[in-house]
Amino acid sequence: MEILGWVLAVIAALSIGMAKGGLSMVGTISVPLLSLVMSPVQAAGILLPVYVISDIGGLIAFRRNFDARVLWTLVPGAITGIGLGWATAHHVNDAQVGLIVGLIGLTFALNALLRSPVDGSARPPRWGAGTLWGMVSGYTSFVSHSGAAPYHVYAQPLRMTPMTYAGTTTIFFAICNAVKLIPYALLGQLSAHNLSIAAVLMVPGIIGVLIGLWLVRRMSPRVFYSFITWALMLVSARLIWDGI
């Protein structure tokens, strides 16, 4: 990769780590950002090992903070969604994947900007809704590691405490990323070249976990998320333009 590619890759890895440190929305920008300088398929392949290593840091940090009931309602659908992504992987080309990544990112950004705060009492975890949104999350996670949007649609109304929310999110996506290793390897996305780049990016990924843990305790989430949302919107718009 050229210098610009490495700069974007390091930023993407940092964003992944910060997501595992509790700022779950931040990681959504990783694949769209790296897709500016390479194929979205290659970007996803390079970043998956970074996600897996960063997951370990997140699991250690939030090992006591999660809701098992929420995970049980989400995980079966997520695995089904990952299988769907694997089954349809050969039917889309790089331009189509780039367009999908851009549309996912733009939808997520617009949803974050336009949605109103969650009102009313907390909803209990439900198998039907959990399976549906888990499936969508698993599919979009397989395509571009961007399963956060559908996950949050289901999880936010459950009104978990902040630490439980962060821990449940971390464990859910750690399971998804571990499952994705199998189809990614069979599709050739974990090639020696991709893994060599990923090995370098694991360092900023781990640093990102520490930064995320520090920020989640000190920085105003509204300010930070606003910046990331607008950045994601601009990057996604560029990918949509290129895809069209």
> The whole model's pTM is what?
0.80
Residue 87's pLDDT band (boundaries 50, 70, 90)?
very high
Q: For position 205, what pLDDT does the model report? A: 92
Q: Work out the pLDDT band at 143, boundaries 50, 70, 90.
A: confident
In this structure, the number of other CB atoms found within 10 A of the CB of residue 237 comes to: 15
- Looking at residue 121, what DSSP letter applies? S
Mean pLDDT, to the nearest integer, of 103-108?
Answer: 78
Which one, of 72, 54, 25, 69, lies nearest residue 166 by Cα? Answer: 25
158 pLDDT above the threshold of 80:
yes
Pairwise CA distance, residues 21 & 208, whole Å: 7
The fraction of the chain above a pLDDT of 70, given in percent, is 89
The sign one gets for the Cα dihedral 87, 91, 94, 97 is negative
Question: Does residue 142 surpass a pLDDT of 80?
Answer: yes
Q: In which band, very low, low, confident or very high, does the pLDDT at 102 lie, cut at 50, 70 and 90?
A: confident
Q: Supply the pLDDT for residue 57.
A: 83
In the block, residue with structure tokens 């395509």: 143
Q: How far is residue 161 from each of residues 15, 112, 116, 127, measured CA to CA in Å?
A: 23, 20, 19, 21
Tokens, residue 214: 């520090």
